[in-house]
A and B are shown apart, each in its own frame.
Chain A
Amino acid sequence: MMSFTRIPRKTWSNWLGVAPFLAFCLAFEIVPVLLLLSGSFSDKQGAFSLGNYAKISAPIYVRSFWNSIQISAITAILGAILGLLIGYAIFRLPSPRVREALIALSDVTTNFAGAPLAFAFIVILGSNGVVTLAFEKYFALKLYPAFSIYSYSGLVLAYLYFQLPLMILLIIPAFAGLRREWWESAHNLGANTFQYWRRIALPILTPSLIAGIVLLFANAFGAYATAWTLGGSNITLATIQIAFTITGEVLHDPGAGDALAVVSLLIMGVCIAIYQFANSRARRWAR
């Protein structure tokens, strides 16, 4: 953090400079979200009610949340484990240029979510996709119908495409934060490689790992475009149900939409809070 030696003289008029931006955030972020929150606790006449939350206990909504949580958890954990391993492999590459190139690749691909990505997966793993055909031809392995890119298993593969590079980007700085002297001290004091990883490296990496997992979870939980492009209404996720209440493709119930949105916000909020906490932990150690 910077230290500011000059003491601003007119503090309150200085705050005026921030006012336009604050007004914008209030108008298009804070107030709408707060109104959504209050709306979720009101009935059609505007009186306080828990009716909307009763509505979302319907099996379809409960299943959509359960699916969202499962997909997010699976892709977060798989992404974190694979990202940790691949991230370490990249981090330990002898050539800095190759390492830089792979980090740049991760940087680009983690932003490749959405419709084009979903379509690219249809191209390779659709029922006539090139990978599907290659499996059939060279391994005599029919992927369909056990696997389908349009189903949840396909969704996991497609999500991993942006989860994996995100984890790699998050974990490489953490590896870089492991100081060589820690390994050398541990080794000097008699520890072997396993003892070093178990007692020093992994505990130090844990906050970054947790931060990565919750961030990946939130990333997947909030995703919509990829799932919608791949599965359309075949896939029941929380975000897809919320979108339905906007577009009115099924029984259009704005109240239920509000409640679904609030529950999603709650889950996301918990993720961001854990992320912030874990990250501050990681930073404190990195001093």
Chain B
Amino acid sequence: MAYLELQNVSKLFGAVAAVKDFNLAVEKGAFVSLLGPSGCGKTTTLRMIAGFEMPDAGALTLDGMDITSVPPNKRGTGMVFQAYALFPNMNVRDNVAFGLEVTGHPKQEIDERVREMLALVRLDDTAKRFPHQLSGGQQQRIALARALAIRPRVLLLDEPLSALDAVVRVALRGEIRRIQLELGITTVYVTHDQEEALSISDRVVVMNQGLIEQTGSPEEIYRQPQTRFVAAFIGTANQLNGVVVDRTQVRFGEILLRAPVPSGLNESSKAVVLVRPESIAIHAAAPTDAHNVLEGTIQTITFLGPITRVGVDVGGTRVVADMAASNRAAFTHTQHVWLSFPPDACQVMANQ
């Protein structure tokens, strides 16, 4: 049995199901992200783990114990909120000490733990300061220290970085991962930011409309999306609508694309071929030795720093392809170009 388990958990708000028949098993020490657009049920799931929402069906177990009806203040989950939620009337020391004080730990132990936690988040010298005297990033680190001070069995983070500036966000997400690995604490992390989820997690759970779309390692989620939703939500993917010809070919307009067709798809059923822009090469002249060649006109050329993204109109379908920024000079707007991509860069799925 896994350390933290959610079994067939459902939650209704009125007649609307926020979370439907949710199953998740988190191993001890793992870092799992719940990723999805707003309203997908990820925060509700986290709040059910914390005990702020009661599931309407299903059960939660933590370390072999059923916690479904345990009140939040007895669960031993440490939660970090999006908007810091530090107590404004207390200084940093008192904030971090709060959880230990209300549960009656001796003062000496509290002082020691506070020092330890402030060192862990690298804010040793802020103990006497008040939340309003700290920056957003510092406040969130104190919130993390406060949640960790009670030695929680699970650390829960609810979009902890979304209120912060881009630079602080990247730095702090590294900090969170470092601390998580250092303590080996089981962590559930909620975010709508795919880059954040992919960069920080051991496993990612992609959610949509209360359901799990896919669970897997960041690499799996990115390279082998199992549903169109995941493909569209994670990164950028070109979606070429076509019809299955045989086990290795899909007809896209007049062109036969070579791609591995999964066994679930029958011949002449509708399918969609997914190709990431970085897998597509751009040619100024028709390539002779390439598979899957598409012909079109350049619509847009967008400089993105290390790469340049080119939008090409292929018979009415827009296809985007990435190239090294250094090749940019070779192409101009409205130029006629050829695109090609290897069959193994394609993923074919049913087009419902």
Residue from A185, A187, A204, A285 with most neighbouring chain B CB atoms (10 Å)? A185
- Our pick among B74, B79, B89 for the contact of A203 (Cβ within 8 Å) is B89
Interface-facing stretch out of B10-18, B97-105, B339-347: B97-105
A185 touches B85 (CB 8 A): yes
Taking the complex as formed, is B83 at the interface, i.e. its CB lies under 8 A from any CB of chain A? yes
Which residues from 57 to 94 on chain B have a C-beta closer than 8 Å to any C-beta of chain A? Answer: 71-75, 77-79, 81, 83, 85, 87-90
**Bound Cα distance A179, B85 (Å):** 8
**Bound Cα distance A186, B143 (Å):** 12
Taking the complex as formed, is B50 at the interface, i.e. its CB lies under 8 A from any CB of chain A? yes
- Our pick among A185, A190, A191, A284 for the contact of B81 (Cβ within 8 Å) is A185
Residue of B nearest to A195 (CB): B102
Enumerate chain A residues within 8 angstroms of B81, measured Cβ to Cβ.
181, 184-185
Taking the complex as formed, is A189 at the interface, i.e. its CB lies under 8 A from any CB of chain B? yes
Taking the complex as formed, is B303 at the interface, i.e. its CB lies under 8 A from any CB of chain A? no
Enumerate chain B residues within 8 angstroms of A9, measured Cβ to Cβ.
none
Residue of B nearest to A193 (CB): B73
B98 touches A204 (CB 8 A): no
Taking the complex as formed, is A111 at the interface, i.e. its CB lies under 8 A from any CB of chain B? no
Smallest distance from the beta carbon of B102 to chain A beta carbons, Å?
4
Q: A185-B81, A188-B72, A188-B79 are in contact. Are A199 and B88 (CB under 8 A)?
A: no
**Bound Cα distance A286, B51 (Å):** 27
Taking the complex as formed, is B229 at the interface, i.e. its CB lies under 8 A from any CB of chain A? no
A287 touches B85 (CB 8 A): no
Residue from B50, B78, B81, B89 with most neighbouring chain A CB atoms (10 Å)? B89
Taking the complex as formed, is A200 at the interface, i.e. its CB lies under 8 A from any CB of chain B? yes
Taking the complex as formed, is B42 at the interface, i.e. its CB lies under 8 A from any CB of chain A? no
B132 touches A188 (CB 8 A): no
- Our pick among A188, A203, A284 for the contact of B73 (Cβ within 8 Å) is A188
**Bound Cα distance A204, B99 (Å):** 18
Smallest distance from the beta carbon of A200 to chain B beta carbons, Å?
5
**Bound Cα distance A147, B266 (Å):** 93
Smallest distance from the beta carbon of A208 to chain B beta carbons, Å?
12
Taking the complex as formed, is B244 at the interface, i.e. its CB lies under 8 A from any CB of chain A? no
Enumerate chain A residues within 8 angstroms of B75, measured Cβ to Cβ.
188
Enumerate chain A residues within 8 angstroms of B72, measured Cβ to Cβ.
184, 187-188
Residue of A nearest to B84 (CB): A181
- Our pick among A188, A192, A200 for the contact of B87 (Cβ within 8 Å) is A200
Enumerate chain B residues within 8 angstroms of A186, measured Cβ to Cβ.
87, 98, 102
Enumerate chain A residues within 8 angstroms of B52, measured Cβ to Cβ.
184, 187-188
Enumerate chain B residues within 8 angstroms of A203, measured Cβ to Cβ.
89
Taking the complex as formed, is B110 at the interface, i.e. its CB lies under 8 A from any CB of chain A? no
**Bound Cα distance A188, B90 (Å):** 17
- Our pick among B73, B85, B143 for the contact of A192 (Cβ within 8 Å) is B73
Enumerate chain B residues within 8 angstroms of A181, measured Cβ to Cβ.
81, 83, 85
Taking the complex as formed, is B251 at the interface, i.e. its CB lies under 8 A from any CB of chain A? no
Taking the complex as formed, is B146 at the interface, i.e. its CB lies under 8 A from any CB of chain A? yes
Taking the complex as formed, is A182 at the interface, i.e. its CB lies under 8 A from any CB of chain B? yes
**Bound Cα distance A203, B83 (Å):** 20
**Bound Cα distance A199, B101 (Å):** 11
**Bound Cα distance A248, B52 (Å):** 68
Cβ contacts B32-58/A at 8 Å (1 or 0 each): 000000000000000000111000000
A184 touches B79 (CB 8 A): yes
Taking the complex as formed, is B150 at the interface, i.e. its CB lies under 8 A from any CB of chain A? yes
Enumerate chain B residues within 8 angstroms of A192, measured Cβ to Cβ.
73, 102
**Bound Cα distance A195, B99 (Å):** 11
Which residues from 62 to 116 on chain A have a C-beta closer than 8 Å to any C-beta of chain B? Answer: none
**Bound Cα distance A287, B150 (Å):** 27
**Bound Cα distance A181, B103 (Å):** 19
Enumerate chain A residues within 8 angstroms of B85, measured Cβ to Cβ.
179, 181-182, 184-185
B77 touches A188 (CB 8 A): yes
B83 touches A190 (CB 8 A): no
B88 touches A204 (CB 8 A): yes
Which residues from 189 to 224 on chain A have a C-beta closer than 8 Å to any C-beta of chain B? Answer: 189-192, 195, 199-200, 203-204
- Our pick among A179, A182, A190 for the contact of B150 (Cβ within 8 Å) is A190
Smallest distance from the beta carbon of B54 to chain A beta carbons, Å?
14
Smallest distance from the beta carbon of B310 to chain A beta carbons, Å?
40
Smallest distance from the beta carbon of B334 to chain A beta carbons, Å?
42
For this complex, 17 residue pairs linking A to B, each with C-beta atoms less than 8 Å apart, are A179-B83, A179-B85, A181-B81, A182-B85, A185-B85, A185-B146, A188-B73, A189-B73, A189-B78, A189-B99, A189-B147, A189-B150, A190-B103, A191-B73, A203-B89, A284-B132, A285-B88
Binding site for B on A (CB under 8 A): 179, 181-182, 184-192, 195, 199-200, 203-204, 284-287
Binding site for A on B (CB under 8 A): 50-52, 71-75, 77-79, 81, 83, 85, 87-90, 98-99, 102-103, 132, 143, 146-147, 150
- A-B pairs, top 5 by smallest CB distance, nearest first, are A189-B99, A181-B85, A285-B88, A203-B89, A191-B102
